[in-house]
């Protein structure tokens, strides 16, 4: 599709990048059938092809309004459309750029701006988020059901092994994920220890930047990335093999450090190196000797693969493969490509649609009556815990038991 950039965007590199991305789209509509929001709402403007048309309007300087913004906001950035698209359209990147440009043309209401600002300030701040979560647990019995659903079952992290291996990897562990489900990172440290790898945290690193990036605060996201690079770089120079994330959403963000900082002369090279070293925990574990983790379990596990792992990192079967190879019994599921409705801050900003998607996902995961649900991202874990009667946890906790 051809886009005639409006005069105000002609010299803007991001707008030119979006123009190139749209050029790849042939308007075939194959992607529509696998878009969760289109499947729920049945409106072309709530599917990828319609949204690409809206983004074209933004780039060409056409009429845009709060309605345009609403259709683009309803996108989960799940990238299911990217997996389906025969022309390789990178919709996720296109949506990021387009929403950023639209933000400048359609100012949000004051209350929405405040809400989005608070999300950007609270979620990436481990201490503040941890404190609020602690208060939430203390008052859990009297909380409204919607808030109670956002508090996952509290599991103790347990004891950690002392460093004893030469092989070292860095753990991304300084944001909401570590505060909300601390048992996950502790389990990852113990499991990698059994595989002969020391997984360590580095002081000074923090949020990967995904929350800011997806809320169109792109400069703030780049600041998070630069701070992390500065914190990790000495350990990388000393031979750390990888930067590992136990939340696939954060792992995907790390892969994008290189492209997003490519025009920053001070960080481009280092950012590209971080992206090269970035691995989701499943990618690390799958490459090791899984006999060391052999388990014996009679429980049947339904696996929900987060969109960031399924479509973003293109690893739709890795977690299932690890669990099967280590002796777990997998339950049949359906619609594995569809998002659970968590999608970063989506469940807070689009609660109604998010609830519908969570209910649909739970049904798809429950078709053969599993004993528990395993996933690979903290957001999905919290989302599914809120609607499921069965236990929901991170897959690595199964290997750690
Ligand atoms: S499948 Fe790809 S080429 Fe076809 S409409 Fe969707 S984004 Fe465009
Ligand atoms: S990213 Fe997901 S929600 Fe957004 S248009 Fe693509 S398939 Fe639909």
If you measure from the C-alpha of residue 93 to the centroid of ligand 1, how many angstroms do you get, rounded to a whole number? 14
Check whether residue 273 and residue 238 sit in a common domain: yes
Strand order in the sheet with 278-280: 198-201, 168-171, 243-245, 278-280
Question: Which residues lie with the beta carbon below 6 Å from any ligand 1 atom?
Answer: 25-31, 48-49, 81, 84-85, 87, 89
Q: What is the pLDDT of residues 313-339, one digit of tens each?
A: 999 999 999 999 999 999 999 999 999
User: Tens of pLDDT along 294-312?
Assistant: 887 889 999 999 999 999 9
How many angstroms separate the first and last alpha carbons of the chain?
52
The residue-averaged pLDDT of 256-263 equals: 97
Is residue 226 included in any domain, yes or no?
yes
Closest CA relative to residue 95, chosen from 191, 31, 140, 146? 31
Count Cβ atoms within 10 A of the Cβ of residue 332 and give its class: 0-12 exposed, 13-18 middle, 19 or more buried.
exposed
DSSP 8-class letter at 302: E
Query: Does some domain include residue 326?
Result: yes
**pLDDT of res. 127:** 81
- pLDDT single digits (tens) 199-223: 999 999 999 999 999 999 999 999 9
Q: Once rounded to an integer, what is the mean pLDDT over residues 81-94?
A: 96
Whether 79 is covered by a domain: the verdict is yes
Q: What is the pLDDT of residue 298?
A: 86
Regarding whether 263 and 154 lie in a shared domain, the answer is: yes
pLDDT of residue 138: 74
Residue 120 falls inside a structural domain? no
**pLDDT reported for residue 174:** 67
Q: Given the CA of residue 24, which atom of ligand 1 is nearest to it?
A: 3
- Both 262 and 394 in a single domain? no
Q: What's the 89 CA to ligand 1 centre distance in angstroms?
A: 7
The range of the structural domain enclosing residue 59 comes to 7-105
pLDDT > 90: percent of the chain: 85
Using one digit for the tens of pLDDT, what is the confidence trace for 14-67? 999 999 999 999 999 999 999 999 999 999 999 999 999 999 999 999 999 999
114 falls within a domain: no
Using alpha carbons, select from 318, 322, 304, 315 the residue that is nearest to residue 381.
304
Position 166 scores a pLDDT of: 96
pLDDT at 141 over 80: no
Question: Do 235 and 166 lie in a common domain?
Answer: yes
DSSP 164-202: --S-EEEE---SHHHHH-HHHHHHHHHHHHHTT-EEEE-
Average pLDDT along the chain: 93
> Given the structure tokens 């990178």, which residue do they identify?
90
List the residue whose alpha carbon is closest to atom 3 of ligand 1: 25
CA distance 186 to 396: 10
Identify the bridge partners of residue 169 per DSSP, sorted by sequence position.
199
Q: Give the predicted TM-score (pTM) of the model.
A: 0.93
Q: Are both 182 and 278 inside the same structural domain? A: yes
| 279 in the same domain as 134 | yes
């Amino acid at each position: 599709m051809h886009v005639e950039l409006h005069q105000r965007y002609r010299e803007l590199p991001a707008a030119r990048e979006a123009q190139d991305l749209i050029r790849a789209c042939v308007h075939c509509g194959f992607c529509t059938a696998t878009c969760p929001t289109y499947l729920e709402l049945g409106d072309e403007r709530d599917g990828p092809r319609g949204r690409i048309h809206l983004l074209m309007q933004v780039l060409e300087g056409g009429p845009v309004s709060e309605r345009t913004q609403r259709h683009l906001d309803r996108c989960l950035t799940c990238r299911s459309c990217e997996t389906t698209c025969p022309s390789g359209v990178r919709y996720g990147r296109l949506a990021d750029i387009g929403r950023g440009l639209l933000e400048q043309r359609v100012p949000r209401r004051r209350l929405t701006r405040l809400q989005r600002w608070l999300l950007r300030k609270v979620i990436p701040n481990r201490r503040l988020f941890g404190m609020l979560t602690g208060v939430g647990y203390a008052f859990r019995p009297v909380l409204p059901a919607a808030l109670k659903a956002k508090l996952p079952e509290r599991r103790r992290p347990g004891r950690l092994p002392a460093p004893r291996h030469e092989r070292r990897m860095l753990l991304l562990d300084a944001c909401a994920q570590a505060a909300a489900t601390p048992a996950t990172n502790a389990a990852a440290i113990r499991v990698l220890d059994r595989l002969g790898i020391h997984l360590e945290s580095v002081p000074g690193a923090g949020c990967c930047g995904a929350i800011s990036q997806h809320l169109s605060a792109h400069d703030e996201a780049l600041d998070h990335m630069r701070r992390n690079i500065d914190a990790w770089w000495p350990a990388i120079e000393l031979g750390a093999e990888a930067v590992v994330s136990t939340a696939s959403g954060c792992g995907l963000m790390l892969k994008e450090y290189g492209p997003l900082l490519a025009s920053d002369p001070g960080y481009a090279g280092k950012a590209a190196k971080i992206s090269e070293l970035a691995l989701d925990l499943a990618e690390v574990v799958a490459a090791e000797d899984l006999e060391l983790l052999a388990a014996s379990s009679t429980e049947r596990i339904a696996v929900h693969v987060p969109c960031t792992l399924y479509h973003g990192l293109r690893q739709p079967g890795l977690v299932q493969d690890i669990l099967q190879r280590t002796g777990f019994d997998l339950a049949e599921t359906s619609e594995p490509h569809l998002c659970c409705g968590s999608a970063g801050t989506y469940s807070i900003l689009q609660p109604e649609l998010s609830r519908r998607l969570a209910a649909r996902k739970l049904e798809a995961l429950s078709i053969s009556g599993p004993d528990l649900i395993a996933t690979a991202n903290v957001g999905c874990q919290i989302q599914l815990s809120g609607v499921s009667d069965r236990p929901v946890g991170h897959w690595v906790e199964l290997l750690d038991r």
